[in-house]
A and B are shown apart, each in its own frame.
Chain A
């Protein structure tokens, strides 16, 4: 039998990897794991540690001692309102995007084939990946008083409806670009693709013969939708809602550009770490979305939503 020539340090190294797969695994996994643990987990721990510090009210310096005082400040009415407002906004954005996403995802998964399928796929993917700031900027153009939306509403003679909407307490305001309605629209637009993709993935997996069976058993299409399709699509819906909910919770740019002056969690984090220099309170505020998302993910995992990611 011919001896295969195995010479040189590379060959020796290769042999070592073959005999000891564990060494290869360490070489492969080491660099990315060190990076993630040191930089990412390390930073998260630094954040968590800071949230247990507090700021000295007189000197404005950070006291490096363990305290729950900073978390206590979150419960003050002005701060608690911020948390409540953000969570409500995240919930309404999530529900609205589920309603708009469903027809798109369903059509793409069930009826579109060939070129139409590619069209729908890119039709969702391009807005998803196009620049976040450009999208927000586009909405600033749309919602401006002299912008296209007011122009169109005037054109069809529906200004009274818009003024009625803006006259509502809480959600209204002087114009769309400084009201909660405006903020909501921009959030909805920017995060919508994140709902469509997982929902479509889940709908693709609904077996056709179940739909046929439901049909054969005499179900109306509405009943099939309610009792067959929706329960099977639920994991995708939950997966999508994780994105829309989490992204809305953490955003601080959209409410700053389009919205009233009332703060959202992200803006509070940004303001406290910046000019105010109150990093402990900023850190405590940042822990809130982590806790809310933790609870949400825990509930979602029990529903099996991660298979649809």
Chain B
């Protein structure tokens, strides 16, 4: 076999591809400091920190952020419970319709978000359900369940049945086994799944526009700025903060599940 070094062309194409993926995000960081406030002029005429103070004093940004955090926390909590239960059932038991259940769980992210959105919207309209934080959470928890499920199911697969049998042989009942054997083993996978679910919900906009009514989550606030730019410098700062806030859970989830056969985030 020839030397195991990549051909030059392949190396250039691979690294150029990675650069293509990252350059636009890095650009956001530069724009957050620009002194220009009317156009998207490049290169920036000057750099300033003023916009951070301006953004800090904006009540609409804070209230949108507050709603986003509330929705993400509630959806993550629900998704953790439902996703883990589902993963436990699918991985520990063989039953009729098991394949269907695992397909059903991934359906909310396999179909385009707009389908989930319009479906929920039309269900709310048929049932005369008024829009509230709860209607947003209903949508978010449904697709957040998938990431928790994916992480948990991969970990359950690695958790060997003999440990659970050993625990039972030593006299532990089901709940003691759950508390002392199962939970410590799956905890980091659940934490990773929860972080990813939080990031997913915090960023979601397509389903949310259909289920939010007049409420503004942070992504909806950004979408309005994108359609009708009014506060370009504030949007630049918010965009940069959102990038940083979503990077942390991703890195955290990566380090928590590293080294196993599964790695978190593979199926957003």
B27 touches A286 (CB 8 A): no
A36 CB–B CB distance under 8 Å:
yes
Among A72-80, A129-137, A165-173, the stretch in contact with B: A129-137
Which of these, B4, B85, B93, B226, contacts A133 with CB under 8 Å?
B226
Which of these, A24, A40, A129, contacts B142 with CB under 8 Å?
A40
Q: Kindly state the separation between the CA atoms of A104 and B227 in the bound complex, as whole angstroms.
A: 33
Q: Kindly state the separation between the CA atoms of A156 and B100 in the bound complex, as whole angstroms.
A: 56
B21 touches A35 (CB 8 A): no
B267 touches A249 (CB 8 A): no
B114 touches A252 (CB 8 A): yes
Which residue of chain B has its CB nearest to the CB of A127? B21
Q: Kindly state the separation between the CA atoms of A139 and B24 in the bound complex, as whole angstroms.
A: 7
A253 CB–B CB distance under 8 Å:
yes
B31 touches A4 (CB 8 A): no
A29 touches B85 (CB 8 A): yes
Known contacts A15-B173, A32-B86; A197 and B104 CB within 8 A of each other: no
A251 touches B4 (CB 8 A): no
Which of these, B10, B85, B209, B242, contacts A103 with CB under 8 Å?
B10
A18 CB–B CB distance under 8 Å:
yes
Nearest CB of chain B from residue A241's CB, rounded to whole Å: 13
A47 touches B108 (CB 8 A): no
Nearest CB of chain B from residue A142's CB, rounded to whole Å: 6
Nearest CB of chain B from residue A300's CB, rounded to whole Å: 11
User: Which has the most chain A C-beta neighbours within 10 Å: B13, B108, B118, B246?
Assistant: B118
A47 touches B119 (CB 8 A): yes
Known contacts A14-B175, A29-B101, A103-B14; A121 and B122 CB within 8 A of each other: no
B174 touches A17 (CB 8 A): yes
B77 CB–A CB distance under 8 Å:
no
Interface residues in A32-68 by Cβ distance below 8 A to B read 32-33, 35-37, 39-44, 46-47, 49-50
Residues of B within 8 A of A211 (CB): 1
Known contacts A46-B122, A126-B247, A283-B122; A36 and B5 CB within 8 A of each other: no
Which of these, B82, B115, B206, contacts A31 with CB under 8 Å?
B82
Which residue of chain B has its CB nearest to the CB of A34? B82
Q: Kindly state the separation between the CA atoms of A120 and B86 in the bound complex, as whole angstroms.
A: 32
A146 touches B41 (CB 8 A): yes
Known contacts A46-B123, A279-B125; A36 and B142 CB within 8 A of each other: yes
B191 CB–A CB distance under 8 Å:
no
User: Which has the most chain B C-beta neighbours within 10 Å: A151, A256, A266, A282?
Assistant: A266
Nearest CB of chain B from residue A248's CB, rounded to whole Å: 9
B155 CB–A CB distance under 8 Å:
no
Residues of B within 8 A of A197 (CB): 266
Which residue of chain B has its CB nearest to the CB of A286? B118
Nearest CB of chain B from residue A229's CB, rounded to whole Å: 12
A283 touches B118 (CB 8 A): yes
Which residue of chain A has its CB nearest to the CB of B222? A133
A176 CB–B CB distance under 8 Å:
no
Residues of A within 8 A of B115 (CB): 44, 47, 250, 286, 289-290
Known contacts A39-B142, A127-B25, A270-B114; A107 and B6 CB within 8 A of each other: yes
A193 CB–B CB distance under 8 Å:
yes
Q: Kindly state the separation between the CA atoms of A10 and B136 in the bound complex, as whole angstroms.
A: 36
Interface residues in A84-125 by Cβ distance below 8 A to B read 100-101, 103-104, 106-108, 110-111, 118, 120-125
Which of these, A40, A111, A279, contacts B122 with CB under 8 Å?
A279
Residues of B within 8 A of A25 (CB): 89, 93, 95
B205 touches A133 (CB 8 A): yes
Which residue of chain B has its CB nearest to the CB of A101? B17
A39 touches B83 (CB 8 A): no
A253 touches B223 (CB 8 A): yes
Residues of A within 8 A of B83 (CB): 32
Q: Kindly state the separation between the CA atoms of A109 and B137 in the bound complex, as whole angstroms.
A: 38
Which of these, A103, A127, A140, A189, contacts B40 with CB under 8 Å?
A140
Residues of A within 8 A of B138 (CB): 39
Nearest CB of chain A from residue B81's CB, rounded to whole Å: 7
B267 touches A309 (CB 8 A): yes
Seen from chain B, the residues whose Cβ lies within 8 Å of a Cβ on chain A are 1-2, 4-7, 10-11, 13-14, 17-18, 20-22, 24-25, 27-28, 31, 39-43, 81-83, 85-86, 88-89, 92-93, 95, 101, 104-105, 107-108, 110-116, 118-123, 125-126, 138, 141-142, 145, 168, 171, 173-175, 196, 199, 203, 205-206, 209-210, 219, 222-223, 226-227, 235, 239, 242-243, 246-247, 250-251, 254, 258, 263, 265-268
- Selected A-B contacts with CB under 8 Å, 15 pairs: A17-B174, A43-B120, A47-B115, A103-B17, A121-B254, A125-B265, A128-B268, A138-B27, A146-B41, A269-B118, A273-B121, A273-B210, A289-B112, A293-B111, A309-B267
Seen from chain A, the residues whose Cβ lies within 8 Å of a Cβ on chain B are 4, 6, 10-11, 13-15, 17-18, 21, 24-25, 28-29, 31-33, 35-37, 39-44, 46-47, 49-50, 100-101, 103-104, 106-108, 110-111, 118, 120-142, 144, 146-148, 151, 189, 192-194, 197, 201, 211-212, 215, 221, 242, 246-247, 249-253, 256-257, 266, 269-270, 273, 279, 282-283, 286, 289-290, 293, 309
Rank and list the top 7 A-B pairs by shortest CB-CB distance, nearest first. A250-B112, A103-B13, A107-B14, A14-B174, A14-B173, A43-B119, A138-B24
